[in-house]
A and B are shown apart, each in its own frame.
Chain A
Amino acid sequence: MLRFIAKRLLETIPVLLIVATLTFFMMKLAPGGPFDTDKATTPEIKAQLEAQYGLNQPVHEQYFNYLGQLVRGDLGPSFKYAGWSVGELLWSAFPVSLELGCYALAIALTVGTLAGIVASLRKNTVTDYVPMMFATLGICLPTFVTGPLLIMVFGIMLGWFNPSGWDFASDRVLPAITLGLYYTAYVARLSRAGMLEVFNQDYIRTARAKGVSKWRIIWRHSLRGGLLSVVTFIGPAIAGLVTGSLVVETIFHIPGLGRFFVMAGFNRDYTMVMGTVLFYATLIILMNLLVDIVQVWLNPKLRFE
């Protein structure tokens, strides 16, 4: 198990290096520098700024400097937010996004699995059809449609929640639902299918033949196998939540990482964009590792390989 973790950790290093390199050179090949848009900057001031940020050095030196900084965990200064380092900006914004992502994932895992399990137990009844219809709907509706719709209905027409912001506990509700909806729907379908497959397995018949009660069969014999696919899905789901948070944070004006990233993109804040991309990549790779470990722990067959 430890060897597996170590091996996977080692694998992430070249991946991160490739990501860093790609990002860096994409930026360097870009037409137009970060200080081009400000019309007021004179050539002298521009040169001074470039010298300050090391942009006048040869590209390969900039590259190695950048990598050196990365190894030390330094993502460099932000081009647009004077006096702020990218690291500081990331760390100030990340907790907000993390909180939002956790709520969304929690909704997806609890509501999704529950709905899926209930539907699988009541297969081909109303209790099955209704949640599954909503699940199909939830999978097809993108966040940038559901988000504004939820704001319109619950924020504006009913007035139950603030249409935007991140100041009160109640401000978490609509964004978390918007972000979690797709994953709730997907998890519901996955867990329904997984449970139905397990119910058809011979070993469930064996358990019934032993006189095991219905609830124990569900709880002790079926859940692990039935929800394995849900665990596998958490990896891609986290990557998707990151992407989704860009939209949700923009719609609800939430001061999280996603909104910073989108704004940095508009502002051509190179170091900020690069830093965020690297941060996202690292985050997702580490989360995938975690999911893999949980999966191996859940499935005894994998544990011995």
Chain B
Amino acid sequence: MAAPAQPVAITGAEELEAGHSLWQDAWLRLRKNKLAVGGGVFILVLALASFLSPLIAPHSYDTQNLALGATSPSGQHWLGTDDLGRDLLSRILYGGRISLSVGLAATLVAVVIGVLYGTISGYFGGRVDVLMMRIVDILFSLPFIIFVILLMVIYGRNIYLLFLAIGAVEWLDMSRIVRGQVLSLKKQEFIEAAQALGLRRRRIILRHMIPNVLGIVIIYGTLIVPRVMLTEAFLSFLGFGVQPPMSSWGTLISEGARSMEEFPWLLIFPGLAFSSTLFSLNFVGDGLRDALDVRASKD
């Protein structure tokens, strides 16, 4: 059906002709995606509240009030208190600080490993590439998280180790994507070398290569964050992650699950905070991908 496809192509051309750069264009498209914008705002507010939690949290996260015990949500404690009388809202805010930090730090680890591995594989190509990608294939098929548990069991439950271990799990996708990008850029470079024009080379690197790799790294980096946070929560839930008195959302959910019969709010509120964060991060990541990925421009 050539007929209905035609007008779509025309509007695409008009948008390009309007003289926006790749990033301006992506920003415009992202802004139109309400889910992504909503998710982004939610994440920003939550992140701000979490990182400012020492200032804005209504109570201290570890002040116990055994006499008070667990209370359901009230004017004094908006989200209630746990069985040790600690304010749940404050604990969720502080927990968010840890969960988000782990999310960002471990993502950084994953991105660095993935980009390095992918660049090396794509740059050298040939046998090195085949071998390196075969290794990635094999790693993909392994239950990586079990090794992370192994690591946490052996070397103690250290939060920096947690960053590293989770980062070491999630780099595989990134390495594949970066490799593909590097491979296709190499081909472009070849064409451009044939043209042998000094000035244009710099222009092409600036205009195409860096935005291309950067864009892809940002998109998939954003998509790694929720996965990393999930892994952290998973480990914390099982007791291999963040240790008390520190608490991430995973530990809060775990504690809540243990006492949900008597105090359901201890499960519901941390679960809600965690799930809506994951939701929002996914929307932002998908939105970014749709906005930046030029190849996926379907109607």
Q: Interface on A for B, CB 8 Å cutoff?
A: 15, 19, 22-23, 26-27, 29-31, 139-142, 144-145, 147-149, 151-152, 156, 163, 235-236, 239, 242-243, 246-247, 250-251, 261-262, 265-266, 268, 273, 276-277, 280-281, 284-285, 288
A7–chain B nearest beta-carbon distance, Å: 13
A16–chain B nearest beta-carbon distance, Å: 10
Quick one: which of A235, A247, A268 contacts B237, CB cutoff 8 A?
A247
Q: Which residues of B contact A262 (CB under 8 A)?
A: 149, 238-239
Q: Interface on B for A, CB 8 Å cutoff?
A: 138, 140-143, 145-147, 149-156, 230, 233-234, 237-240, 250, 253-254, 256-257, 260-261, 264, 267, 271, 274-275, 278-279, 282
Q: Are A149 and B271 in contact (CB under 8 A)?
A: yes
Q: Are A239 and B141 in contact (CB under 8 A)?
A: yes
Q: Across chains A and B, which 6 residue pairs bring their CB atoms closest together, nearest first?
A: A30-B154, A148-B257, A145-B271, A265-B153, A144-B237, A288-B141
- Assess A147 versus B257: contact at CB under 8 Å? Given A30-B154, A262-B238, A277-B150: yes
**Which label, helix, strand, loop or mixed, suits the secondary structure of the B interface?**
helix
> Total contacts A to B, CB within 8 angstroms?
102
Q: Chain A CB within 10 Å — which of B234, B239, B240 has the most?
A: B234
In the complex, A242 Cα to B146 Cα: how many Å?
9
In the complex, A250 Cα to B138 Cα: how many Å?
28
In the complex, A246 Cα to B238 Cα: how many Å?
8
Q: Which residues of A contact B271 (CB under 8 A)?
A: 145, 148-149
In the complex, A156 Cα to B257 Cα: how many Å?
12
Q: Which residues of A contact B230 (CB under 8 A)?
A: 142
- Assess A284 versus B142: contact at CB under 8 Å? Given A31-B155, A148-B253, A148-B267: yes
Quick one: which of B138, B145, B278 contacts A140, CB cutoff 8 A?
B278
Q: Are B257 and A27 in contact (CB under 8 A)?
A: no
In the complex, A27 Cα to B267 Cα: how many Å?
35
In the complex, A119 Cα to B143 Cα: how many Å?
32
Quick one: which of A19, A149, A250, A261 contacts B142, CB cutoff 8 A?
A19
Q: Are A261 and B282 in contact (CB under 8 A)?
A: no
Q: Which residues of B contact A22 (CB under 8 A)?
A: 147
- Assess A266 versus B261: contact at CB under 8 Å? Given A15-B138, A142-B230, A273-B153: no
Q: Are A31 and B156 in contact (CB under 8 A)?
A: yes
Q: Which residues of B contact A247 (CB under 8 A)?
A: 234, 237-238
Q: Are A148 and B260 in contact (CB under 8 A)?
A: yes
A211–chain B nearest beta-carbon distance, Å: 21
Quick one: which of A141, A152, A284 contacts B275, CB cutoff 8 A?
A141
Q: Are B260 and A151 in contact (CB under 8 A)?
A: yes
**Which label, helix, strand, loop or mixed, suits the secondary structure of the A interface?**
helix
- Assess A142 versus B234: contact at CB under 8 Å? Given A23-B150, A26-B150: yes
A178–chain B nearest beta-carbon distance, Å: 12
B218–chain A nearest beta-carbon distance, Å: 21
Q: Which residues of A contact B149 (CB under 8 A)?
A: 246, 261-262, 265
B291–chain A nearest beta-carbon distance, Å: 19
Q: Which residues of A contact B261 (CB under 8 A)?
A: 152, 156, 163
Q: Are B264 and A152 in contact (CB under 8 A)?
A: yes
Q: Which residues of B contact A277 (CB under 8 A)?
A: 146-147, 150
A136–chain B nearest beta-carbon distance, Å: 8
Q: Are A149 and B267 in contact (CB under 8 A)?
A: yes
Q: Are A243 and B254 in contact (CB under 8 A)?
A: no
Q: Are B233 and A142 in contact (CB under 8 A)?
A: yes
In the complex, A237 Cα to B149 Cα: how many Å?
19
Nearest chain B residue, comparing its CB with the CB of A280: B143
Q: Are B142 and A145 in contact (CB under 8 A)?
A: no
Q: Are A140 and B257 in contact (CB under 8 A)?
A: no
Q: Are B142 and A144 in contact (CB under 8 A)?
A: no
In the complex, A111 Cα to B21 Cα: how many Å?
45
Nearest chain B residue, comparing its CB with the CB of A15: B138
Q: Which residues of B contact A281 (CB under 8 A)?
A: 142-143
B244–chain A nearest beta-carbon distance, Å: 15
Q: Which residues of B contact A265 (CB under 8 A)?
A: 149-150, 152-153, 240
Q: Which residues of A contact B257 (CB under 8 A)?
A: 144, 147-148, 251
In the complex, A239 Cα to B141 Cα: how many Å?
7
Q: Are A140 and B239 in contact (CB under 8 A)?
A: no
Q: Are A144 and B250 in contact (CB under 8 A)?
A: yes
Q: Are A26 and B154 in contact (CB under 8 A)?
A: yes
B22–chain A nearest beta-carbon distance, Å: 27
Q: Are A140 and B143 in contact (CB under 8 A)?
A: no
In the complex, A268 Cα to B264 Cα: how many Å?
33
Nearest chain B residue, comparing its CB with the CB of A281: B142
19 contacts between A and B (CB under 8 A): A31-B154, A140-B278, A140-B282, A142-B233, A144-B254, A145-B253, A148-B260, A156-B261, A163-B261, A236-B140, A239-B142, A262-B149, A262-B238, A265-B152, A265-B153, A277-B146, A277-B150, A284-B143, A288-B141
List 7 other contacts, CB 8 Å, given A147-B257, A149-B267: A31-B156, A149-B271, A246-B238, A262-B239, A265-B153, A266-B153, A277-B147
Q: Which residues of A contact B254 (CB under 8 A)?
A: 144
- Assess A145 versus B141: contact at CB under 8 Å? Given A273-B150, A277-B150: no
